[in-house]
Chain A
Amino acid sequence: SDKMSDKQSAQKSAKIASGAVVCVESEIRGDVTIGARTVVHPKARIIAEAGPIVIGEGNLIEEQALIINSYPENITPDSEGVEAKTMTIGINNVFEVGCMSQALKIGDNNVIESKADLGRNMILTSGCIIGACCQVNTCEVIPENTVIFGSGCQRRVQTERPQPQTLQLDFLMKILPNYHHLKKTVKN
């Protein structure tokens, strides 16, 4: 039916802006929009299962990072009344190696360090740093400039927001195309 074909056509498209560097070895599934100057490393995974994902500009998504818009645990994919929620990610965020993010709303200038784990009900504002190996699965809005660190997920507020990784992004945008094929936008 129409709905099915719409779903299928929506799933096939991954809109990659012209300035973005997305390596072919990365896995992008579903309706994903990637902004300009964003770098997606090989083996990164962006999976839009339960709804589209919109990623802004200047983000850095490193290897084995997993950004997934998945169904909540108690809801099956086919049940009625399930709205497709869009996951939005702002600009200048860094998703370090091996992290997993299911948070539906991430603002700007956040850093999610290696092997961190963000739950679906979290909302990151801006300047937040989720430390390495920290699993945060609460239903809250993290205030600006919060740092979550340590095995007990201690928190503190820093006075400065983390600097945007412009140097790193420029370097990667120059070097990665020398060693990897890039994904381009699928044109219908």
Chain B
Amino acid sequence: MASLLQPDRVLYLVHGEKKIRSPLSTLYFCRYCSELRSLECVSHEVDSHYCPSCLENMPSAEAKLKKNRKRICNQLNENFRCANCFDCPCCMHTLSTRATNIPAPLPDDPSKTAMKKAYYLACGFCRWTSRDVGMADKSVASGGWQEPDNPHTQRINKLIEYYQQLAQREKLERDRKKLARRRPYMPLAFSEKYGLGTRLQRQRPGAPITSLAGLSLKEGEDQKEINIEPAQALDEVEPLPEDCYTRPINLPEVTSLRQRLLQPDFQPAGASQLHPKHKHLLIKRSLRCRKCEHNLSKPEFNPTSIKFKIQLVAVSYIPEVRIMSIPNLRFQKECQVLLTLTNPVENITHVTLVGCEEGDPEDINSTAKVMVPTKELVLAGKDAAAEYDELAEPQDFQDDPDVVAFRKSNKIGFFIKVVPQREEDGDVTVSFKIRHDFRNLAAPIRPSEEGDAPAEAIWLTHHVELSLGPIIA
């Protein structure tokens, strides 16, 4: 449907650190700053982790670390992988558990055999099974599958601990220096609490990302001195096997690069060593305006829900321009293009279109002159019940038929005149400014003496660019 609507032909300009032009459907509107925001001028935060196949929520990192760190399931969660679901090592699809009946001797009477269920993992896409790598069938449906241990785990863990300690020490030194300068009366322990938990420090661009942050020293825990042995360089390397060049390659056994690199700790060269890994978790992300710190988008916590708690998307606040029909565009001939303007809010909106002036710094892409309607366009409010209400009188707006082609509830069709100025290949692009009134319902309710005062309207201006297609000679 998106390709039918062709939303990327109408671009709105966002004033942020970078000037970004993108369709209204991809933009957000901060109603506290009353400005459009794009994905690049908001800060992205991780809300929660969930597994895409079992849709189980994983608690956030901070909540986990307060528990006992040493439990194995926690270790899996620290890697941000699901405990129940596996990925096929061959095609990365989700593995499903299948059961077969195998005859097994009864524990009470070994001479009789009963059918017992044995479970194995299988991929529905590439038909890989856990039996292919020699993993025995398990007697429980879930929880019996273990990832193979990495022989280097101990060494790596020790190195991580050592560097964590080093990082903490350096951070303490840094904080000590800072506090010594500014607030000498603040106790030292406060600096730990102001770790990357607060928003101010989180948003510092260019700050080093430390996944080790947040691991604060527990009070009373003595700092153990951790020493590591330095890595030793070896002179002799294991020689290649003698038949390295002469042995014929068994192609189905060779793993592809992708299969190999998805298991960075083993990187097996043979397909018979490809063991399934736990499935990676996905995140739910929330967006925050960088200027006013308000949330622009906050999803629901439940992984099965696609709704949002806060959803300040631009299409719900800003009138949307869409291209309806384009005639044959001719070089230096005036053509009439039909556009539509849709009002997303429930109150009447007044829209004025203004062409871009000469030398407008925002007008860099237009290749044609455009004449927009000079009169103010009035858009009716969006009324969800209008189609069911037969008694409602049609509102009389007295539209100029040269300007307004049609009117349908909260949408109007209007004409603009386009004169392409360049004969080259490429799309004819026009731009203009759209100025509309906006009632800010987010403004704090001020106690007013006159009773209910309507929300004040402010006027917003947006720069819109349209791509009308090529010139037809």
Is the CB–CB distance between A149 and B132 below 8 Å?
Answer: no
Segment among B122-130, B236-244, B439-447 that sits at the interface with chain A: B122-130
Q: Which of B95-151 contact A (CB under 8 A)?
A: 125-129, 131-132
**A42 contacts the other chain (CB 8 A):** no
CA of A129 to CA of B131 in the docked complex: distance in angstroms?
Answer: 18
Q: Which of A78-112 contact B (CB under 8 A)?
A: none
Interface range on chain A: under 10, 10 to 19, 20 to 34, or 35 or more?
10 to 19
Task: Give the Cβ gap from B354 to chain A, nearest Cβ, in Å.
Answer: 49
Please give me the residue from chain A that is nearest to B90 by CB atom: A156
Given contacts A158-B132, A159-B132, contact A149 B127 (CB under 8 A): yes
CA of A159 to CA of B252 in the docked complex: distance in angstroms?
Answer: 11
Chain A neighbourhood of B128, CB < 8 A:
156, 158
Is the CB–CB distance between B126 and A156 below 8 Å?
Answer: yes
Contact of A150 among B126, B252, B271 (CB under 8 A): B126
Contact of A159 among B90, B125, B126, B131 (CB under 8 A): B131
Task: Give the Cβ gap from B93 to chain A, nearest Cβ, in Å.
Answer: 9
Is the CB–CB distance between B127 and A158 below 8 Å?
Answer: yes
Q: Which of B41-75 contact A (CB under 8 A)?
A: none
**A181 contacts the other chain (CB 8 A):** no
**A6 contacts the other chain (CB 8 A):** no
Given contacts A149-B91, A156-B252, contact A131 B129 (CB under 8 A): no
CA of A150 to CA of B125 in the docked complex: distance in angstroms?
Answer: 8
Is the CB–CB distance between B126 and A147 below 8 Å?
Answer: yes
Is the CB–CB distance between B129 and A159 below 8 Å?
Answer: yes
Chain A neighbourhood of B132, CB < 8 A:
158-159
Contact of A149 among B126, B131, B271 (CB under 8 A): B126
**A157 contacts the other chain (CB 8 A):** yes
Contact of A129 among B90, B91, B127, B252 (CB under 8 A): B127
Q: Which of A151-182 contact B (CB under 8 A)?
A: 154-160, 162
Contact of A160 among B90, B126, B129, B271 (CB under 8 A): B129
- Interface bits B240-256 vs A (CB < 8 Å: 1, else 0): 00000000000010000
Q: Which of B168-193 contact A (CB under 8 A)?
A: none
Chain B neighbourhood of A155, CB < 8 A:
252
Q: Which of A28-84 contact B (CB under 8 A)?
A: none
Chain A neighbourhood of B131, CB < 8 A:
159-160
Is the CB–CB distance between B125 and A149 below 8 Å?
Answer: yes
Residue of A150, A156, A158, A162 ringed by the most chain B CB atoms within 10 A: A156
Is the CB–CB distance between A131 and B90 below 8 Å?
Answer: no
Task: Give the Cβ gap from A152 to chain B, nearest Cβ, in Å.
Answer: 11
CA of A129 to CA of B129 in the docked complex: distance in angstroms?
Answer: 14
Task: Give the Cβ gap from A145 to chain B, nearest Cβ, in Å.
Answer: 9
CA of A159 to CA of B91 in the docked complex: distance in angstroms?
Answer: 16
Please give me the residue from chain B that is nearest to A163 by CB atom: B100
Please give me the residue from chain A that is nearest to B134 by CB atom: A159
Task: Give the Cβ gap from B258 to chain A, nearest Cβ, in Å.
Answer: 11
Chain A neighbourhood of B127, CB < 8 A:
129, 147, 149, 156, 158, 162
Q: Which of B243-302 contact A (CB under 8 A)?
A: 252, 271
Residue of A149, A150, A154 ringed by the most chain B CB atoms within 10 A: A149
CA of A131 to CA of B90 in the docked complex: distance in angstroms?
Answer: 15
Task: Give the Cβ gap from B125 to chain A, nearest Cβ, in Å.
Answer: 6
CA of A40 to CA of B122 in the docked complex: distance in angstroms?
Answer: 28
Is the CB–CB distance between B129 and A150 below 8 Å?
Answer: no
CA of A155 to CA of B128 in the docked complex: distance in angstroms?
Answer: 12
Q: Which of A115-169 contact B (CB under 8 A)?
A: 129, 131, 147, 149-150, 154-160, 162
CA of A150 to CA of B90 in the docked complex: distance in angstroms?
Answer: 11
CA of A158 to CA of B128 in the docked complex: distance in angstroms?
Answer: 7
CA of A166 to CA of B241 in the docked complex: distance in angstroms?
Answer: 47
CA of A150 to CA of B271 in the docked complex: distance in angstroms?
Answer: 18
Task: Give the Cβ gap from A18 to chain B, nearest Cβ, in Å.
Answer: 32
Please give me the residue from chain B that is nearest to A162 by CB atom: B127
Chain B neighbourhood of A131, CB < 8 A:
125-126
Task: Give the Cβ gap from B251 to chain A, nearest Cβ, in Å.
Answer: 9
Task: Give the Cβ gap from B317 to chain A, nearest Cβ, in Å.
Answer: 40
CA of A156 to CA of B131 in the docked complex: distance in angstroms?
Answer: 15
Chain B neighbourhood of A150, CB < 8 A:
91, 125-126
Chain A neighbourhood of B252, CB < 8 A:
155-157
Please give me the residue from chain B that is nearest to A129 by CB atom: B127
- Interface bits B334-356 vs A (CB < 8 Å: 1, else 0): 00000000000000000000000
CA of A154 to CA of B91 in the docked complex: distance in angstroms?
Answer: 10
Please give me the residue from chain A that is nearest to B252 by CB atom: A157
CA of A119 to CA of B125 in the docked complex: distance in angstroms?
Answer: 22
CA of A147 to CA of B127 in the docked complex: distance in angstroms?
Answer: 7
Please give me the residue from chain B that is nearest to A111 by CB atom: B127
Please give me the residue from chain B that is nearest to A148 by CB atom: B126
CA of A156 to CA of B127 in the docked complex: distance in angstroms?
Answer: 9
Interchain residue pairs A-B with the least CB separation, the first 3: A157-B252, A149-B126, A147-B127
Not counting A156-B128, A158-B128, A158-B129, a sample of 16 additional A-B residue pairs whose C-beta atoms are within 8 angstroms of each other reads A129-B127, A131-B126, A147-B126, A147-B127, A149-B126, A150-B91, A150-B125, A150-B126, A154-B91, A155-B252, A156-B90, A156-B126, A156-B127, A156-B271, A159-B129, A159-B132
Instruction: Name A's B-contacting residues (CB within 8 A).
Output: 129, 131, 147, 149-150, 154-160, 162
Instruction: Name B's A-contacting residues (CB within 8 A).
Output: 90-91, 125-129, 131-132, 252, 271
A-B contact pairs, 24 of them (CB 8 A): A129-B127, A131-B125, A147-B127, A149-B91, A149-B126, A150-B125, A150-B126, A154-B91, A155-B252, A156-B90, A156-B126, A156-B127, A156-B128, A156-B252, A156-B271, A157-B252, A158-B127, A158-B128, A158-B132, A159-B131, A159-B132, A160-B129, A160-B131, A162-B127
